[in-house]
Amino acid sequence: MHFSDKMTESLQNINRVIIDNRSTLDSIQDMAVELTRAVQTLEQAAVKYIRMVDGVLEQLIPIMKSIPLVPKGVVVMATNIEATTTKFLAACDMAERVLPGVEAGLTTADMTKLKASTGDVQKLTITLQSLLAGMDKK
C-alpha cells in the first residue's frame, strides 16, 4: 500500500464523518449566529438603559452634592454608579466593534474572520467579568 492510498482513505473517512454530522454542524453554526445576534440586541438595549441612567446621574450628582441634607454615602454611591456606567459603556463599545465580525464570520463560515475575532471576544469576556467582579465588591 502506498502513502497516497492511506491518505486517500483517511480523507474519505473524514469526509464521511463530516457528511454524517452535517446537520449537527449546521445546527451549531445556526445557534452561534443566533446567540451572537441575541447578544448584540441585549447590548443595544443595555446601552440605551445605561445612557439613560448616566444622563440622570450627571444631572443629579451635582445637585446632591450641593444639598447638605443628602448623606455623603448616597453621593458616593451615585458617583460609583456613574463610574460603573462609564465602564459598561466602554464594554458595550467594544462589543459593537467585535460582534459584527463574529456574526459575519459565522454566517459566511469564514474561519479567518472567526480566528481574527477570537482574541477580541476573549478580551470582551474578560472586561465584562472584571466589571461584574468590581460590582460585587461594592
Q: What is the pLDDT of residue 92?
A: 93
Amino acid sitting at position 63: I
Instruction: For residues 93 and 76, give the distance between their C-alpha atoms in angstroms, rounded to a whole number.
Output: 26
- Taking all residues of the chain, what is their mean pLDDT, rounded to a whole number? 91
Q: What is the pLDDT of residue 138?
A: 59
Domain that holds residue 124: 40-137
Average pLDDT in the 91-113 region? Answer: 92
How many whole angstroms from its chain centre is CA 2?
49
**pLDDT per residue over 44-101, tens digit each?**
999 999 999 999 999 999 999 999 999 999 999 999 999 999 999 999 999 999 999 9
Contact 99, 43 (CB under 8 A): yes
Q: What is the pLDDT of residue 137?
A: 73
Residue 103 Rama label (left phi>0; alpha psi -120 to 50; beta): alpha
- Cell 458617583: give the residue: 79
**Domain contains 16:** no
Q: How many domains does the chain have?
A: 1
What kind and span of H or E run contains 63? helix 22-66
**Domain contains 17:** no
**Domain contains 133:** yes
% the chain with pLDDT above 70: 99
**Domain contains 31:** no
**Domain contains 73:** yes
**Domain contains 26:** no
Q: What is the pLDDT of residue 99?
A: 93
**Domain contains 4:** no
**Domain contains 100:** yes
The phi and psi torsions of 109 (rounded to 5 degrees) equal: 55, 40
Torsion of CA 20, 11, 8, 115, to 10 degrees: 160
